[in-house]
Amino acid sequence: MIRYEIHGENIEVTDAIRNHIEEKLSKLERYFANVPDANAHVKVKTYQDSRSKIEVTIPLKNVTLRAEERHDDLYAAVDLIVEKLERQVRKHKTKVNRKFREKGIEKDVFPVFPETEKEEEEPEIEIIRSKQFDLKPMDSEEAVLQMNMLGHDFYIFNDAETNGTNIVYRRKDGKYGLIETSAE
């Protein structure tokens, strides 16, 4: 069963909005062999130009589904999000299931659909270039400077204080993000 955590920014999430989001996202449950216990994190945001943005993240045990959509109509944005998430599931279901079988795990994350459903053939993932480099200890501001000097969209570094491996990246809005890793 997927539970929904719906939060609004610059908008009150009314019962009508909540019901529409839950109804549309619940369609995703048909793609799972066993409906997982999961929390769908939904962020609804409106801007001054009355455009809406919907972000949905569904962290599952073996895969994370995520999509975001901006649109003038909030309800249309929800519909587009569901379409994006369905495409993600269809695109990756074969690859994910095959990887688990190769690892000897007899469990399909996504069910195998009947032959009537069109199977999307994707080319195999091919890594065409590999690089090695030493991670330098630095803080996140220095990492952003290094990233900009190299003209890249992300930069991996060792945090000088925690000695953890972190990543800085350039966001779509031109600002920067930081990913801090941790060992489980």
Least confident of 12-26, 34-48, 53-67, 92-106: 92-106
- Name the pLDDT band for 105 (thresholds 50, 70, 90): low
- Name the pLDDT band for 117 (thresholds 50, 70, 90): very low
Say what the pLDDT of residue 115 is.
37
Delineate the domains of the chain, giving CATH numbers in brackets: 3-103 (3.30.160.100), 137-181 (3.30.505.50)
pTM of the complete model: 0.59
Average pLDDT score over residue span 33-50: 79
C-beta of residue 133 within 8 angstroms of C-beta of residue 126:
no
What's the rounded Cα separation, in Å, for the pair 45 and 26? 21
SS3 7: strand
SS3 151: coil
Could you read off the pLDDT of 60-82 as tens digits, one per residue? 766 788 899 989 999 999 999 99
User: What's the Cα-to-Cα distance from 142 to each of 111, 136, 151, 178, 179, rounded to whole Å?
Assistant: 46, 10, 14, 12, 15
Could you give the maximum distance between any two Cα atoms of the chain, in Å?
55
Least confident of 82-96, 110-124, 139-153: 110-124
Report the percent of the chain where pLDDT is more than 70: 80
Could you read off the pLDDT of 123-181 as tens digits, one per residue? 677 888 888 888 889 999 999 999 988 888 999 999 999 889 999 999 988 899 999 98
